[in-house]
Amino acid sequence: MRAALPEVDIVTAVDADGINAGLHDGATSWATPSALSNGLTLACQGGLADWLTSE
């Protein structure tokens, strides 16, 4: 995985289901593609508004 923007941080981890990743722009946006045990991948995304409205 690679990001075209230098401000995007990528963190990866391996678990029993496969490889998972977390991407963050250092300010307001994030995304997490995660491997599932059934062979599919779950992708979630969000931003600053998610943090402000989740309380």
pLDDT of residue 49: 58
d(CA 5, CA 26): 11
Output phi, psi for 13, to 5 deg.
Answer: -150, 150
pLDDT of residue 27: 82
Inside any domain, residue 8: yes
Full domain range(s) for residue 10: 1-36
Inside any domain, residue 3: yes
pLDDT of residue 55: 46
Count the domains in the chain.
Answer: 1
pLDDT of residue 48: 66
The answer to whether the beta carbons of residues 48 and 36 sit under 8 Å apart is no
Inside any domain, residue 49: no
Inside any domain, residue 46: no
pLDDT per position as a tens digit, 1-55 = 777 888 888 889 898 888 888 888 888 888 988 888 898 989 988 876 555 554 4
Residues 6+ apart with CB under 8 A from 38: none
| pTM, 2 dp | 0.66
The answer to whether the beta carbons of residues 25 and 8 sit under 8 Å apart is yes
